[in-house]
Amino acid sequence: MNKLIIIFALLFTGVLTIYEINENFVSSPIWQHIDAFATAFTLILVFKEILDSKDQLKNIRIYLEFDDGVIDEIFPIKRKNFSRAELKGILRELHGSRENYRLSYMSESDFFDNIFAVQDGKKDSFIMKIRKDDFFEYTL
């Protein structure tokens, strides 16, 4: 998105430079084509931004998957708020003990890949794997 804005700004600067050199440029057919292109390009950027912001408001469902096969859904959060820190905060609230929890899944590359997939809009849910040897007190 940023590359498109930079290209648009460079194009616009070039047009202004040509206009300063030749004041009759605005009435020429070339200007009409550049103006139409700039208008269409702006509309495309606005439409893309609307779609992106709409996608950021989607609810992401978070599931806890235990070794015994039980899957429990906890409350959803908005995609724009979904981060590793937010997920850790939610788990801390669900953890019943005063001591910090330890989940081995959080140190695996799959954990981070899934977080990035949710943030990029490739996934609409997140599964937190909890193993028997993890320290996480949670009652269904």
Amino acid at 29: P
Residues 122 and 66 in one domain: yes
User: Predicted confidence band at 29 (pLDDT cuts at 50, 70, 90)?
Assistant: confident
Total residues belonging to the chain: 140
Q: What is the mean pLDDT of residues 26-55?
A: 78
Q: Within a domain: residue 14?
A: yes
**pLDDT for res 140:** 54
**pLDDT for res 139:** 63
Total domains in the chain come to 2
Residues 21 and 48 in one domain: yes
**pLDDT digit string, tens, across residues 62-101:** 999 988 888 888 889 999 999 999 999 888 888 877 778 8
Q: What is the CATH number of the domain that holds 72?
A: 3.10.20
Residues 33 and 92 in one domain: no
Q: What is the pTM of this model?
A: 0.65
**pLDDT for res 117:** 95
Provide CB contacts within 8 A for 132, sequence distance 6+. Answer: 67
